[in-house]
């Protein structure tokens, strides 16, 4: 009976694990930006402890993504192909792809 129970749990949990997202998160100026493996972005207000905006990277991003924010609210995203996007840690202004910069 026990092996059947474990098998049933494995069958039920495996599809859930396949849909799990990987998030990269960076924070600045009391806000954070989280980006998932599809280029979807969520802006998090640390004071309110809630998501206050969403966005999506433009220009055909390629996972995986790394994001870093500086001491102000400026952030940079680098994708798996070395493309760069620049934007703020707070919602309102979309992240813009760099037109003349790419990682070597």
Give the model's confidence band at 104: pLDDT under 50 very low, under 70 low, under 90 confident, else very high.
confident
Q: What pLDDT, on the 0 to 100 scale, is given for residue 18?
A: 58
pLDDT for 43-73, tens place per residue?
999 999 999 999 999 999 999 999 999 988 8
Q: Which are the contacts of 52, defined by CB distance < 8 A and separation ≥ 6?
A: 31, 43, 44, 45, 90, 91
Segment 17-39 mean pLDDT: 89
What's the whole-model pTM score?
0.77
**35, 68 Cβ separation under 8 angstroms:** no
Between residues 11 and 8, which one has the greater pLDDT?
11
Name, in order, each residue with C-beta under 8 angstroms of 73's C-beta and a sequence gap of 6 or more: 28, 29, 31, 88, 89, 90
> Please, what is the average pLDDT of the chain?
85
CATH code for the structural domain at 21-102: 2.40.10.480
Distance CA 100, CA 49 (A): 36
Instruction: Tell me: pLDDT of 92 over 80.
Output: yes
**Helix or strand (DSSP H, E) at 27:** strand 23-28
Segments making up each domain of the chain, as ranges: 21-102
Question: Among the residues of 1-104, which ranges form H helices?
Answer: 2-18
């Amino acid at each position: 009976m026990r092996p059947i129970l474990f098998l049933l749990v494995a069958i039920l949990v495996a599809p859930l694990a396949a849909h799990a997202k990987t998030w990269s998160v960076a924070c600045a100026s009391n806000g954070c930006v989280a980006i998932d493996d599809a280029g979807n972005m969520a802006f998090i207000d640390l004071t309110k402890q809630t998501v206050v905006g969403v966005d999506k990277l433009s220009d055909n991003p390629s996972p995986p993504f790394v994001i870093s924010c500086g001491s102000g609210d400026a952030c940079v995203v680098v994708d798996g192909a070395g493309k760069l996007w620049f934007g703020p840690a707070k919602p309102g202004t979309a992240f813009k792809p760099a037109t003349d910069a790419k990682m070597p």
